[in-house]
Amino acid sequence: DAGVIQSPRHEVTEMGQEVTLRCKPISGHNSLFWYRQTMMRGLELLIYFNNNVPIDDSGMPEDRFSAKMPNASFSTLKIQPSEPRDSAVYFCASSSTIGGDSGNTIYFGEGSWLTVV
């Protein structure tokens, strides 16, 4: 089975441009997470969805960030307008359930490496 698939793997964009990161979770998983990793702040949870519904977006840094999950197999994280401080690695992750077996494992994609110049 394919793992979590993210695109693009690498993106370099100019400040002010819109950036859209995409994620396809593992088939059958109903929880999806977006994390951001930087040297200064480590791994931060931005938002997570359960059954396509945003459950907790308290980690989204500001209004320039938005995330959607229109169906069970696709999610986007959008930054508009982008700024140099948004440069980071953005990870998407998925797992099978929320509220059930607490031993469920969260699987990560390989990340989208974003540089805003």
Partner 1 sequence: GNSVTQMEGPVTLSEEAFLTINCTYTATGYPSLFWYVQYPGEGLQLLLKATKADDKGSNKGFEATYRKETTSFHLEKGSVQVSDSAVYFCAPLGTDSSYKLIFGSGTRLLVRP
* CB-CB contact of 81 with 16 (8 Å): yes
Return residues touching partner 1 (CB under 8 A).
31, 33, 42-43, 45, 48, 50, 55-56, 91, 93, 98-99, 102-111
Q: Which is nearer to partner 1, 74 or 113 (CB)?
A: 113
Rounded-to-integer distance, Cα 117 and Cα 104, Å = 38
- Least distance in angstroms from the C-beta of 7 to partner 1: 13
Whose structure tokens read 């995409």? 22
Strand 53-56 relative to strand 42-50, pairing: antiparallel
- Nearest CA among 17, 15, 9, 11 for reference residue 85: 15
Closer to partner 1 by CB, 41 or 85: give it: 41
Nearer to partner 1, 22 or 81 (CB): 22
Shortest Å distance, C-beta 81 to partner 1: 27
As measured in angstroms, the least distance from the Cβ of 102 to partner 1 is: 5
